[in-house]
Structure 1
Amino acid sequence: MMNPILLAAIPIISYFFLLLARMKVIPQNAVLLPSPPRLPIIGNLHQLGSILHRSLYKLSKQHGPLMLLHLGTVRTLVVSCPKIAEEVIRNNDLVFATRPKSKVMGALSYNKNDIAFAQYGESWRQMKKLAKTHLLSSQRVKSMSSDRAEEVSLLLEKVADAASRGNGVICLTEILNSYVTNVITRAVLGSWVTKEKKKLLSKLSHESSALFYEVFFEDFFPNLNWLDVLRGSDRKLKNYMKNWDALFEEIIKNHGRESKEVNGKNNTYFIGTLLELQNDSSLGFFLTNDHIRGLTLDMIIAGIDTTFATLDWCMTELVRNPEVMKKVKDELRKVAHGEDMIIEELLGQLSYLKVFIKEVIRLHPSSPLLLPRESLEECQIQGYNIPKQTRLVINAWAFGRDKSYWEAPEQFKPERFFDSNVDYKGKDFYFIPFGVGRRICPGMDFSMVVIEIALANLLHCFDWSLPRGITVEDMDMIECGGVISSRKQKLELVPIASKVN
């Protein structure tokens, strides 16, 4: 399938050729980097498929693990090898600490006031420190365990209710998406959020992933920004952000309804903490409304889609690998000691469940291409001179398939992590599903406990099978196109309540 960027460009190719003489000449030292042959003006845009991490992986097999692409006027380095990624981060993490300017990231960052999309600088450092200290510390994550327990109970009820209807087949994908949305919105916004608002937040989260694939000519051809207005792309992005603005107005209005103490439980949610910090003179900087909007948006769109995608892949791989499912269930049975539910205090004893999840995110990282970076100054990588303002894309999906680091990488084998210290927290460059260096995701601990507690209870309370007439071979394992790599085919399964011994 041809990339939509190329399809949109074809009608104005003739106009591009008129600009050819005015284009900047790419420095000769950049041209020396391995690079696929390119077309005038559009460069390598025509070689990008609908599933970007796969098309870049295919190109890297032909042109090498360090590859230069020309995307319009944008120089883009693609790293598909852990060894090169390690060199980049160890030697040039600060050089590549910023994000490139783009229409979408500029809007989602609320004018560079968030963590995920904002460019590097003092404001970004302050925001990341605030998030790690006040929102996502291990103590803060642990303090919300009772909220997660309630949401897991509701998840189990929803599964049982859906299974009691019709032929017992449920769409687990939709139920998992609802569970993750409920957990994230409750942690970030509080319990006032209505069912309708949760659906809207889930919709906006999914749309943000698609927005990254929206064609904005300004990002590739700055002189053609008027085409974004003509084609309606500008209007689409503005309407998307208007929905967020309206939501934030309601969020701040409703914050007063959330008391800090309800039935003896701490109910200070992320938004409440941020609003209180606005009046904290010891913070060291003034927290503006745009800072709060940017951080809140980060927590929601980065939290919902990535966590949901991983949960969905986990249940998919369990059904495809019944022997693995049996091992997980056997472990749960031993740890539960006859109790109806698994509580978070027991998660540390579930060693096989943890290596199983590691194997899932090795093969199916929810963000297969880490968000792009951009060089703040000229640097060297592998002996090549890399000019200032060169974009960097790291293909974490490719790292999980590198035979130099993984034996039989295409096989699903959780046992590969037994007796291994390999972890996803950024020290092992061949396993970086949450990113690496200064731009590593600060919410990984929060996300993992949401995944672990849901999986533990879904497997402890139910036996799972495919619907009658459906086999493992019928399951399509291809991903959706987008920044978040969720499975394209919805997961339908038959749950049967387990007998707790």
Structure 2
Amino acid sequence: MGRNAVAISEHIFATVDGIIGTFAFGETYAAQQFKEKFIDVINETMDFLGNFSAEDFFPNAAGRLVDRLTGVAARREMIFMELDGFFERIIDQYSDPARRKNDDGSDLVHKLIDLWKMDGTTKRFTRDHVKAMLMNTFIGGNDSSSVTMHWTMAELMRNPRVLKKVQDEIRAVVGKKERVQHDDMRKLKYLRMVVKETMRLHPPGTLLIPRETIRHTKVGGYDIPAKTKVIVNAWAIGRDPKIWKDPEEFCPDRFEETDIDFNGAHFELIPFGSGCRICPGVAMAVLNMEFILANMLFCFNWELPEGMRKEDIDMEEARGLTIHKKTPLLLLAIRQYTTD
């Protein structure tokens, strides 16, 4: 990559987008015939979902009126139409019998279409369900994973000791191979701790997806009526001094003596949620993040641009549905060569 600083967030997003896109659409996604337009629509969707809507706080006629007067309702309708039109074209394209003769049918779109068209199904899986699941795959898979890796690299550059420790682990395990292989991943225990610590400090979604109580209950002595909207602040839980020692410090070593994980069983760390509505893509997300980070840290030595110190890295968060780093991280990537 030479000695020019690169905005790693762009490269990380492109990598994750390629993985998720190929998983969902197969090899066609890499052909660029609709990829760039789709990314623009997804980015606009994410920006809109993180903005204020009066109807979220006043779910009545007054809230709807305010959204109409401010243009929020019109923008919402426009984005919906763009997304819906895109997925309609995809479904029509992938349903074409002539196309299916040349595809192996292993991608997500084909599987969902087969489920929808299955005769005698009692699941009532419709065309709209296909579109909804494809949208959730991209919104939930692309942005959150990319954001987490961006924060990980920022924290590592601010903590040289941790950066050296995780790179030493990866290079000791991988040895003289050209890059990290999937078989190496189970041995990279400290890398997993680094990802855990990043998600503790920087959960991709500050607030988990809202829930609604189905009946009256009591929590901590407080009466919670039925149909109350419950919003869990994962960011605050991850920085709670009653739970974590030195909660503002980036210290992956804290996980060495504990089995705390983000699989939903430990409420101290729930970036993916918990229970029956935990993120269904948690396994794929973690695998992708760890594998991409492992190869980045194995293949390159990372340095800050000339004249910049680790104290100069801006860690301010940007507003949005997923918590991006406000100032993109620029780094020098120096190729690490291995010899036989």
TM-score greater than 0.5 by the shorter chain: yes
SS at match of 1:376: coil
> Does the 8 Å contact 1:425/1:432 carry over to 2?
yes
Residue 179 of structure 1 pairs with residue 18 of structure 2: no
Residue 29 of structure 1 aligns with which residue? none
Instruction: Report deviation, 1:420.
Output: 1.6
Return the match for 2:72 from 213, 229, 233.
233
> Does the 8 Å contact 1:479/1:486 carry over to 2?
yes
> Does the 8 Å contact 1:463/1:498 carry over to 2?
yes
Q: Does the C-alpha gap of structure 1 residues 445 and 258 become closer, same or farther in structure 2, counting only changes over 3 Å? A: farther
Q: Does the C-alpha gap of structure 1 residues 288 and 387 become closer, same or farther in structure 2, counting only changes over 3 Å? A: same
Q: Does the C-alpha gap of structure 1 residues 259 and 500 become closer, same or farther in structure 2, counting only changes over 3 Å? A: farther
Instruction: Report deviation, 1:217.
Output: 2.7
Aligned length: 334
Residue 244 of structure 1 pairs with residue 80 of structure 2: no
Residue 97 of structure 1 aligns with which residue? none
Aligned residue type for 2:317: E
Give, in whole Å, the separation in 1 of the partners of 2:192 and 2:179.
Answer: 18
Give, in whole Å, the separation in 1 of the partners of 2:319 and 2:129.
Answer: 30
Residue 47 of structure 2 aligns with which residue? 210
Residue 200 of structure 1 aligns with which residue? 37
Gaps in structure 1 of 5+ consecutive residues? 1-162
Instruction: Report deviation, 1:497.
Output: 0.5
Give, in whole Å, the separation in 1 of the partners of 2:89 and 2:81.
Answer: 13
Q: Does the C-alpha gap of structure 1 residues 450 and 267 become closer, same or farther in structure 2, counting only changes over 3 Å? A: farther
> Does the 8 Å contact 1:173/1:312 carry over to 2?
yes
The 5 Å alignment of 1:285-434 reads 285-434=123-272
> Does the 8 Å contact 1:426/1:432 carry over to 2?
yes
Give, in whole Å, the separation in 1 of the partners of 2:88 and 2:99.
Answer: 15
Residue 449 of structure 1 aligns with which residue? 287
Give, in whole Å, the separation in 2 of the partners of 1:373 and 1:291.
Answer: 20
Instruction: Report deviation, 1:273.
Output: 0.5
Instruction: Report deviation, 1:261.
Output: 7.9
> Does the 8 Å contact 2:241/2:247 carry over to 1?
yes
> Does the 8 Å contact 1:378/1:386 carry over to 2?
yes
Instruction: Report deviation, 1:301.
Output: 0.5
Task: Give me the TM-score of the superposition, normalised by structure 2.
Answer: 0.92
Aligned residue type for 2:56: D
Give, in whole Å, the separation in 1 of the partners of 2:253 and 2:263.
Answer: 19
Residue 5 of structure 2 aligns with which residue? 169
Give, in whole Å, the separation in 2 of the partners of 1:337 and 1:259.
Answer: 43
The 5 Å alignment of 1:36-185 reads 163-164=1-2, 167-185=3-21
> Does the 8 Å contact 1:187/1:269 carry over to 2?
yes
SS at match of 2:28: coil
> Does the 8 Å contact 2:206/2:233 carry over to 1?
yes
Instruction: Report deviation, 1:226.
Output: 2.5
- Aligned CA RMSD, in angstroms, stands at 2.0
> Does the 8 Å contact 1:169/1:492 carry over to 2?
yes
SS at match of 2:27: coil
Q: Does the C-alpha gap of structure 1 residues 455 and 267 become closer, same or farther in structure 2, counting only changes over 3 Å? A: farther
Aligned residue type for 1:174: E
SS at match of 1:385: strand
SS at match of 1:243: helix
Instruction: Report deviation, 1:490.
Output: 0.6
> Does the 8 Å contact 1:176/1:308 carry over to 2?
yes
SS at match of 1:394: coil
SS at match of 1:192: helix
Aligned residue type for 2:47: A
Aligned residue type for 2:39: S
Return the index of the structure with the highest Cα Rg: 1
Instruction: Report deviation, 1:492.
Output: 0.7
Give, in whole Å, the separation in 1 of the partners of 2:229 and 2:46.
Answer: 19
Aligned residue type for 1:168: N
Give, in whole Å, the separation in 2 of the partners of 1:343 and 1:382.
Answer: 47
Instruction: Report deviation, 1:310.
Output: 0.6
> Does the 8 Å contact 1:260/1:268 carry over to 2?
no
Q: Does the C-alpha gap of structure 1 residues 335 and 290 become closer, same or farther in structure 2, counting only changes over 3 Å? A: same
Give, in whole Å, the separation in 2 of the partners of 1:428 and 1:172.
Answer: 31
Give, in whole Å, the separation in 2 of the partners of 1:401 and 1:369.
Answer: 13
What do the CA deviations read for 1:98-118 (whole angstroms, capped 9, x no partner)? xxxxxxxxxxxxxxxxxxxxx
Aligned residue type for 1:230: L
Q: Does the C-alpha gap of structure 1 residues 372 and 499 become closer, same or farther in structure 2, counting only changes over 3 Å? A: same
Q: Does the C-alpha gap of structure 1 residues 399 and 187 become closer, same or farther in structure 2, counting only changes over 3 Å? A: same
What do the CA deviations read for 1:427-451 (whole angstroms, capped 9, x no partner)? 1111111001222111100101111
SS at match of 2:34: helix
Instruction: Report deviation, 1:239.
Output: 0.7
Instruction: Report deviation, 1:386.
Output: 1.4
> Does the 8 Å contact 1:310/1:361 carry over to 2?
yes
